[in-house]
Structure 1
Amino acid sequence: MKRREFLIAAGLLPAARAFAAPAAAGAAPAGLSLQAAINRAGRQRMLSQRCAKAWLLLVDGVVPDRARSILDQSVRLFDQQMADLKGTQPNDEVRAAWGLLDQDWSRYRPLLLDPRGDVKAVWAGSEAVLAAAQKLTVAYERAAGSSAGRLINLSGRQRMLSQRMAKAYLFHQMGINPGPAREMLDTAMKEFAKAHDELKTAPQNTAQIKSELGLVEQQWFFFQNALGMQAGDRKKGMSDVATTSERILEQMDAVVSLYEKIAG
């Protein structure tokens, strides 16, 4: 799946532009390269957190129409990518990791369909799916055995962290697991900043990648401000975090796609 197709499927492009997509957009590929598999498995990590973020926004009535759209599109994209990855299983480690992720997703997915469900169960489900998706991504990276594969993994993890930070912020604002949520947010922010510094110094960076990472840095500035803001209006603060987390996600996806391109 190319970046444009992902943005359409994930709801990051407006509907008017989505209609211009090729008829084949979203169709399962006949087979994936290992670099593409790393990208998709890494995107499953992100979707585990993005689904929880959208579900929380929906539950709390924050930008509900947008939250519903993001949630529905994220669930569909996760399902599609599981099918894509099922066709690319080069060894036993990957097969076992895919099976674990499939099991954890089958338990998490139904929780996301009920906005009246158990919030703490969504917390636990999102963590389990994230851990399983991480194992699958690492298994693909090991199978690829290249420095380029590591860069796809590392930059792809930044996408996940953008959504993890938003998820943690929302849990904290809603008073659910506030202590662990605060710790999760602080840790994710530190990890994002450290990985960004590493990506900026990667010797494989092209001029275009350097430019895109510069744009990520701009979005990171706005995102940090939103995460640190103690808004008088709680729902406005949550809405701002939702918006800025989507913007930095889109920009990071551009970076991952470029790393996948140079690896191919």
Structure 2
Amino acid sequence: MKTIQSKLAVIFIAFFSCFCFLLPSYAITKNEMGIVINLSGKQRMLTQKMSKEMLLIAKGVDEAQNKENLGKTAALFDKTLKGLIHGDEDLKLVGIEDAKIVGQLERVAMLWGKFKKNVDSVLSGDTSKGISEKIAKENLPLLKNMNRAVKMYEDYAKKLGGESLDARMAVTLNLSGKQRMLTQKMTKEVLLVANGIDPDKNKSELKKTTELFGRTLKGLLDGDDGLRLTGTKDLVIRDQLKLVAELWEEYKYVLNEIMSSESSVVSEEYLVKVAKINLPLLREMNKAVKMYEESVK
């Protein structure tokens, strides 16, 4: 009898151990999940911001300031990536022990190591067309793989359910965060045109980026079934999104002028406007994302 009981006990312990292994080792809160989705989403933006800053330097636009900005952007990307993997108290990040997510982040880290060589080259004074071509080629794999990680976090939040982040809010945080990236991606695309890198292709990409930004902004305000956005009822967040919309109208006018021009040359006037307007648009969009994050209780 004791032998049977002992065997049953061993089987129960083994089963329980396996069951526990399948569960997350740490029950992440809604707020923590919101921070993870926000900051992982912000990483997408940083890939494009770095690219933009390098191309501004290559074009000779405010070189000293953009070198300083580039150094800070690269350092923040690196710190956040490590924080997503291992956790970071300063950033209020908890590392999520999901094998697929960790594997994807390690893929991002590998691509980041490669892309960072471009950052180091530009900071060391290399502003050749060759380095601009490498930036154009290598920024998108980094962006796409970071975007995959964000989507995995969104799916992870949905899978947990219960006390974790609401699925609709996970989508909203993802796509509002993606808007930050789009502000920098469209600016990068203008600068690729200005630097003579595949002008027609990058004008075409710029058109797609501007259309997606405009559609998503409307969806955040009033909903978009195709984007799985339910719209925003919070009046404070709506006011912030309307401020973003005002800045967007100003920026969109400049971008449309560049896209409609038959020339691949971007005038000094428009370059100055692009360099000036994109950051307020980014900042105000970031405020909206932060508001969404803070609305998670």
Measured against the shorter chain, the TM-score band is 0.7 to 0.9
Whole-angstrom CA distance in 2 between matches of 1:229 and 1:66 = 27
- Where do 4+ consecutive residues of structure 1 move more than 4 Å? 230-233
Number of aligned residues: 234
C-alpha contact (below 8 Å) 1:226/1:244 kept by paired residues: no
Shift of 1:203: 4.5
Give the fraction of aligned pairs with identical amino acids, expressed as a percent: 23
Shift of 1:263: 2.2
One-letter code of the match for 1:67? N
Unaligned stretches of 5+ in structure 2?
A: 1-28, 87-94, 159-166, 223-229
**Does residue 142 of structure 2 align to residue 129 of structure 1?**
yes
**Does residue 271 of structure 2 align to residue 238 of structure 1?**
yes
One-letter code of the match for 1:218? E
Whole-angstrom CA distance in 2 between matches of 1:55 and 1:41 = 22
Whole-angstrom CA distance in 2 between matches of 1:188 and 1:94 = 27
Secondary structure of 1:114's counterpart equals helix
Unaligned stretches of 5+ in structure 1?
A: 1-30
Question: Greater relative contact order: 1 or 2 (C-alpha under 8 angstroms, separation 6 or more)?
Answer: 1
Whole-angstrom CA distance in 1 between matches of 2:66 and 2:282 = 15
Secondary structure of 2:251's counterpart equals helix
Secondary structure of 1:113's counterpart equals helix
**1:218 aligned to which of 243, 246, 253:** 246
Q: What's the counterpart of residue 120 of structure 1?
A: 133
Shift of 1:204: 4.5
Whole-angstrom CA distance in 2 between matches of 1:168 and 1:203 = 29
Whole-angstrom CA distance in 2 between matches of 1:186 and 1:112 = 27
One-letter code of the match for 1:213? L
Whole-angstrom CA distance in 1 between matches of 2:71 and 2:187 = 18
**Does residue 265 of structure 2 align to residue 250 of structure 1?**
no
Greater shift in the superposed pair: 78-87 or 230-239 = 230-239
Q: What's the counterpart of residue 6 of structure 1?
A: none
Secondary structure of 2:197's counterpart equals coil
Shift of 1:189: 0.4
Shift of 1:259: 0.9
C-alpha contact (below 8 Å) 1:41/1:85 kept by paired residues: yes
In the superposition, the TM-score normalised over structure 1's length comes to 0.84
Q: What's the counterpart of residue 172 of structure 2?
A: 151
Whole-angstrom CA distance in 2 between matches of 1:168 and 1:238 = 12
Whole-angstrom CA distance in 1 between matches of 2:100 and 2:146 = 13
| Greater Cα radius of gyration, structure 1 or 2 | 2
Secondary structure of 2:255's counterpart equals helix
Q: What's the counterpart of residue 179 of structure 1?
A: 200
Q: What's the counterpart of residue 183 of structure 2?
A: 162
Whole-angstrom CA distance in 1 between matches of 2:38 and 2:146 = 11
Shift of 1:196: 0.6
**Residue by residue, what CA displacement relative to the aligned partner does 1:131-185 show, whole Å, maximum 9, x if unpaired?**
1110110011111112111101000000000000000011112211112211110
Q: What's the counterpart of residue 13 of structure 2?
A: none
Q: What's the counterpart of residue 7 of structure 1?
A: none
C-alpha contact (below 8 Å) 1:108/1:125 kept by paired residues: yes
Whole-angstrom CA distance in 2 between matches of 1:205 and 1:68 = 40
C-alpha contact (below 8 Å) 2:194/2:266 kept by paired residues: no
**Does residue 88 of structure 2 align to residue 67 of structure 1?**
no
In the superposition, the TM-score normalised over structure 2's length comes to 0.75
Q: What's the counterpart of residue 11 of structure 2?
A: none
